[in-house]
Amino acid sequence: MVQLFLFVLFFAFGAAVFFLIKKTRSHEFIIPADLEDLLESHVAYYRELTSDKKKKFEERVRVFLSYIRIHGVNMKVENLDRVLVASSAIIPVFGFEDWRYFNLKDVLLYGDRFNAEDYAVTGDGRNTLGMVGDGPMQRMMILSKPALRQGFINETQKVNTGIHEFVHLLDKADGATDGIPEALLHRQYVIPWIKYMRDAMSRIKAGKSDIDPYGAVSQAEFFAVVSEYFFKRPDLLRINHPDLYGLLEKAFSQYPGQK
């Protein structure tokens, strides 16, 4: 009986989201004309790139916005939101020239935190800032707009919700969201990575790490949390955790913080 109830609930939410997307179809695939200005003034990662790489980054953002739909749930999506979602997506894959997010179609933006159980923005469980969908929500990402923006406004913190969620998608590309990005990491580095991850998670649990404690929740969260650190504060990560920086530069095939 409980299973039947959950089954019905699951599909009811799937259907609700489907109709919501149909309703907002007219807003799909918008590429902002002021893309370069928005990147320059809001995305620190972009600002650090050479002019050649800036051009490549802009092109990657345009391509992303031409196949991913961004919808606002009871709120208007602004050009800045489109640019920040696309930047969150491109930053982790900038080292892979032809990467396409085949496991994503739609991004839903909420005006606040939401309940990860039923995607509601009201109620007790409204504490989630971002998530990658499963089941009927497959190929969908949900982000809190304030959290998305905050990740780029605050340039000194190690957090960025948008990058965090896109790293979960990269992790998922090999079939399992398990903190082991087999699709990215050369086989010889997989064992060192698993070993490093387990040791580092124990250090977080023992209170002996500057890595966000959320990284100790699971291997998948560890990978997403240290990736935020890698892309937001590569300078600090290289000093505080040189081995981790070394493994992540191999996984992502890029060297943030180094010209």
Comparing CB distances to Zn ion, the nearer of 35 and 224 is 224
* 224 lines the binding site for Zn ion (CB under 5 A): yes
Q: How far is the CB of 33 from Zn ion (least distance, A)?
A: 33
C-alpha span between 235 and 215 (Å, rounded):
19
| Position of minimal CB gap to Zn ion | 224
Q: How many alpha carbons lie under 13 Å from residue 92 in its C-beta half-sphere?
A: 29
Comparing CB distances to Zn ion, the nearer of 152 and 222 is 222
Give the CA dihedral 141, 146, 149, 153, nearest 10 degrees: -150
Comparing CB distances to Zn ion, the nearer of 172 and 238 is 172
Comparing CB distances to Zn ion, the nearer of 58 and 221 is 221
Number of chain residues interacting with Zn ion (CB under 5 A):
2
Long-range CB contact pairs, 83-86, < 8 A, 24+: 83/32, 83/35, 83/38, 83/39, 83/42, 83/43, 84/42, 84/43, 84/148, 84/149, 84/151, 84/152, 84/162, 85/109, 85/143, 85/148, 85/162, 86/61
Nearest to 61 by CA among 95, 89, 80: 89
| Strand pairing report for 126-128 and 114-115 | antiparallel
Site string for Zn ion, 59-78 (x = CB under 5 A): --------------------
Site string for Zn ion, 177-216 (x = CB under 5 A): ----------------------------------------
> Which range touches Zn ion (CB under 5 A), out of 137-145, 191-199, 218-226, 230-238?
218-226
Comparing CB distances to Zn ion, the nearer of 138 and 258 is 138
Nearest to 89 by CA among 24, 34, 27, 143: 143
Q: How far is the CB of 221 from Zn ion (least distance, A)?
A: 5
Q: How far is the CB of 9 from Zn ion (least distance, A)?
A: 23
Q: How far is the CB of 224 from Zn ion (least distance, A)?
A: 5
Comparing CB distances to Zn ion, the nearer of 159 and 237 is 159
* Interface residues toward Zn ion, by CB under 5 A: 221, 224
